[in-house]
Structure 1
């Protein structure tokens, strides 16, 4: 069989998250506005005192003394760093050059740290716990975003990620409860995702129905079916149907004892470790293998791929099912991964945020990981600051994850281009 030339989008999509379009002024303006906001609100108008960050846990190999910094001065310095990065991005845009991806990452870190020092002035916050919560909340987003990448790389828009996550959470809870074996739930979850994906593939690929409409309908269908079964079966006989065992945490010897990194990365349950593997394997498979080359060719130029012997619709069908399995596995995290019983609509829109993470990550597994961690951090920040008891209105903190989503997609990503054949049907001539 002949090979095809790698599509240019495949290489471009591996760019770092937040790398801007050459000559675009959107990112520099966004940086400047947020930098000025940080300087005035977090710095000049901030509360005097000290902000303390604890970084060690009791089981660490060695203890690190909590770090205390002057709140107002630290916020001012970090805000000036943000403004310096805005000036650098503006200079690159004026020269018609692309702003490196590290600028967005550094800016985000400086802005968030400025916010934290302002928010916890006079208080203490467990920084390691904040990072642990970030990873915990990002896990289903990563699986959902990976599902979207697998589907859209072959030209199928997967709006049904929300339904696949919810179906995975439901079947994982039921299977684990009935069998008393948590691993039965871990196996059942991808099957639930595949069943939803099968409907998506049949209607969009075989019958050429509008992909967005089918995805939305499937989400509503899964919400309705799981809600009905929850009300009529799970709540009536909860002891048998909805008391799943939870996955135990697995501490990696030595690595789990490293301060900060150990508790965050290496004291997790099996689903988190599977997430690490899924991101690595997906990134290598898509951009370093013949399979990935064919997949990207189908998403970019299906007719050209067809002329060299690639079965376009068969490739799409398989990838949609693969994406469904990945999303279903992510859904298991809501129940057996978190040690919770199933609840109606417990995914709470995470599938749609996963779509935003996929776009922010430029249809790349590692980019999707970074974006999902950003959204997870925003959510965990709301929870942590609520516990600390800052003066920030709770309503504003509830908005934080969604504001980050809007700014990330609209202001920081720059111009992004999906696979050229995304959302289009293909009929062999």
Structure 2
């Protein structure tokens, strides 16, 4: 039973990484922008957060640095695709490749670095409860914050005026522009906010999930988060559930290896990505369902003077 409690706790941590990044990408896509650069942004943010924490000894400054790095890269991406009209898909891929290469180069001096001793995570007293403690109450505050964020984002998109404007920009930017809304600035703000959340996810990896820095440590999670937005049909609550599903599959491979399951380790390592492909194939069987939920102007440029 103890091993299953630890598996559940690890699932929540793994799912938090995906949830934070996918919620950020969802904000982008609700505004009509596709950002394929999540992997690169998360890697640069992971390095920024780790380096800042090593230098200052303050984990929260590390998280802030990660968010800043993600927001900065996303802001540059937004300027390129929104004002200069570059192709969203090509620019996103370029951002991802840049982030992979830059983080590998800039992080050479931090491969052997160690984080300072940090306070124990979790809710006092409750984290010591047998079984339930390590499963539910022994986590970093961001694990619980991701749940609150998903619920708050769902309310924001459905109930608030600003959320409705954001959705209108993603559905029909020309109509929103005709009503006097500054479509380009709204899209850019959404891109920066999404980049900050991707940066927070990257910093969470290097500071909490695997507290160290190694080249390529995001390991494809940015791409899984991107697929997760489609899997969740652009709904925050479903993003959260999907993140825990994929997080559980990721942790299952380690649980099976520890249990002595006679399967090649390479096959077990493939499980998260196989699950992603299977889910996308199943969803693609009903294109009409995807079109009904997808923002109508997703990936389409907008030119105010056109």
**What TM-score, normalized to structure 2?**
0.92
The 1:222/1:256 distance shift into structure 2, 3 A limit, reads same
* Structure 1: gaps (5+ residues): 1-53, 58-125
Query: What is the aligned counterpart of 2:71 among 175, 194, 207?
Result: 194
Secondary structure at the counterpart of residue 208 of structure 2: coil
CA distance in 2, matches of 1:245, 1:421: 46
What's the offset of the Cα at 1:256?
Answer: 4.5
- The 5 Å alignment of 1:277-292 reads 277-292=148-163
- Aligned residues of 1:182 and 1:244 also touching (Cα < 8 A): no
Supply the distance in 2 between the matched residues of 1:374 and 1:273 (Cα, whole angstroms).
16
- 2:34 alignment partner in structure 1: 157
Distance across 1 between alignment mates of 2:163 and 2:301: 20
Q: CA deviation at 1:270?
A: 2.3
Shift of 1:284: 1.2
Whole-Å Cα distance in 2 between the matches of residues 265 and 283 of structure 1? Answer: 23
SS across alignment from 1:337: helix
CA RMSD of aligned residues (A): 1.9
| C-alpha displacement of 1:328 | 0.4
For residues 251 and 342 of structure 1, what CA distance do their matches in structure 2 show? Answer: 23
Match of 1:177 among 38, 54, 63: 54
1:133 corresponding residue in structure 2: 10
Greater CA drift, 249-258 or 148-157: 249-258
Cα-to-partner distance string for 1:357-391 (whole Å, 9 max, x where unaligned): 11101111111111111111111111101000012
Shift of 1:323: 0.4
Distance 1:256 1:340 in 2: 20
Q: Is the 8 A contact 2:63 2:204 kept in 1?
A: no
Deviates further, 207-216 or 414-423:
414-423
2: CA distance, partners of 1:407 / 1:245: 41
Q: Which has the higher helix share?
A: 2
Q: Which residue of 1 aligns with 2:184?
A: 313
Q: Which residue of the partner structure matches residue 377 of structure 1?
A: 248
Residue 364 (1) aligns with residue 235 (2): yes
Which structure's relative contact order is higher, taking Cα pairs within 8 Å and 6+ residues apart?
A: 2
1:428 aligns with 2:304: yes
| Superposed counterparts of 1:249-288, under 5 Å | 249-252=120-123, 256=127, 261-288=132-159
> Number of aligned pairs?
300
**SS at the partner of 2:240?**
helix
Aligned to 2:290: 416
Whether the aligned pair in 2 keeps the contact of 1:247 and 1:269 (CA below 8 Å) is no
User: How many angstroms does 1:255 deviate by?
Assistant: 5.3
- Could you tell me which runs of 5 or more consecutive residues in structure 2 were left unpaired when the two chains were aligned: none
- Indicate the residue corresponding to 1:293 in structure 2: 164
Residue by residue over 1:187-238, the C-alpha shift from the partner in whole angstroms, topping out at 9 and shown as x without a partner, is 111001011101110110010100010111011111111111123x335xx5
Contact 2:49 2:66 in 1 (8 A): yes
CA 1:245/1:199 → structure 2, altered by over 3 Å: closer, same or farther? same
The superposition leaves residues 293-325 of structure 1 with CA deviations (integer Å, 9 ceiling, x where unpaired) of 000000001111111121111100000000011
8 Å CA contact retained: 2:122, 2:141? no
Matching residue of 1:223:
100
Alpha carbons of structure 1 residues 255 and 307: separation in structure 2 relative to 1, 3 Å? farther
With over 3 angstroms needed to count, the CA separation of the structure-2 counterparts of 1:187 and 1:254, relative to structure 1, is: same
Structure index of larger Rg: 1
Separation of aligned partners in 1, 2:143 and 2:281: 29
159 and 213 in structure 1: CA distance in 2 versus 1, 3 angstrom threshold: same
**2:40–2:100 contact (8 Å) kept in structure 1:** yes
Rate the CA distance shift 1:342–1:287 in 2: closer, same or farther, 3 A. Answer: same
Moved more, 178-187 or 192-201: 178-187
Matched-pair contact (CA < 8 Å) for 1:168–1:190: yes
Q: Distance in 1 between matches of 2:56 and 2:62?
A: 9
Q: Do the aligned partners of 1:193 and 1:329 also contact (CA within 8 Å) in 2?
A: yes
